[in-house]
Amino acid sequence: MDRLKDKVAIVTGSTSGIGVGIAKLFASEGAKVVICGRRAEKGEAVVESIVKEGGEASYHFMDITVIESIDKLFADTVEKYGKIDILVNNAANVGLKDGRVDEITLEMWDNIFQSDVRGTFYATKCVLPYMQKNATGGSIINIGSMASCGGDLGSTAYACAKAGVDMLTKSTALQYGKQNIRCNCVRPGLIVTPENEAHVPQVLKDIFLSNIMVDRYGCPADIGHMCVYLASDESTYVTGQIVNVDGGLNSHVPTVAQFKELNSRTW
């Protein structure tokens, strides 16, 4: 369990949900993990759970919408650990119900873009100089969303913001690949977490399960395992990729669920 041994990793938005799953798996693979977010009590609890399992972690306050807190996060991490090898841009404002184009206000649009695109961009911009100093470069992993895969009845601003993250991933990979800095994006499908489980209606779970190719919903560890691979030296020839971790949700034609209900293969 040493695929990330001696690597220093920052996982933004790791006080809950998917971020916790990623951070814990990183620590179990030997990384020194910086837990960061706005909720100090939850962050310290994550650190405590990692340390109890024999891992190494610390908490640092960060608000993805405040650039000064991002600057301080990276500076303090390098002061404490001497380098940064891995950045997971996970922190975001989930706006799945932000609405249709005619319903969204400019304030709603700006708030989502500020956290989901601007914050991810600025964190990436900040970490690059530190990774450029590493002999082995670094790995940047952006957490996208299946919302960016196609048009939907709602979640317009969120989907557009995550589509921006997809393109930021490709641009970063292209521009800094020759310096051994890789950048990839992981798009989660429906991930049921301890925080959201009680708020996901059963009807929504049923809709997803009828379209997912496997027989279960996703969990934070599913995203964490992919991130471990992309952060490790096993993936040094993988960059600029948008990887769907969605149980196969986006790999088939959209009429499959309805035909399955009819017990039919086609019309």
136-181 pLDDT, tens digit each: 999 999 999 998 988 888 889 999 999 999 999 999 999 999 999 9
Decide if pLDDT at 114 tops 60: yes
Domains, in order of start, for the chain: 8-197+219-251 (3.40.50.720)
| Closest alpha carbon to 143 in 202, 191, 102, 215 | 191
CA 170 to chain centre: 15
> Residue 267 has what pLDDT?
64
Q: At what angle do helices 156-176 and 106-113 cross, to 10 degrees?
A: 30
d(CA 154, CA 225): 30
Phi, psi dihedrals of residue 56, rounded to the nearest 5°: -125, 125
- 8 A C-beta contact, residue 189 and residue 247: yes
Query: How many Cβ atoms are within 10 Å of 248's Cβ, its own excluded?
Result: 12
Distance CA 228, CA 222 (A): 10
Residues 21 and 14: their CA atoms lie apart, in Å, by 8
Place of tokens 């690597």: 7
CA distances from 238 to 18, 50, 161 (A): 22, 28, 24
Binning pLDDT at 50, 70 and 90, where does residue 14 land? Answer: very high
Asked whether residue 95 carries a pLDDT value surpassing 70, the answer given is: no
Catalytic residues: 158
State the Cα–Cα distance between residues 64 and 90, nearest whole angstrom: 10
Q: pLDDT tens digit string along 39-48?
A: 999 999 999 9
% the chain with pLDDT above 70: 98
pLDDT digits (tens, 9 = 90+) for 230-259: 999 999 999 999 999 999 988 888 888 888
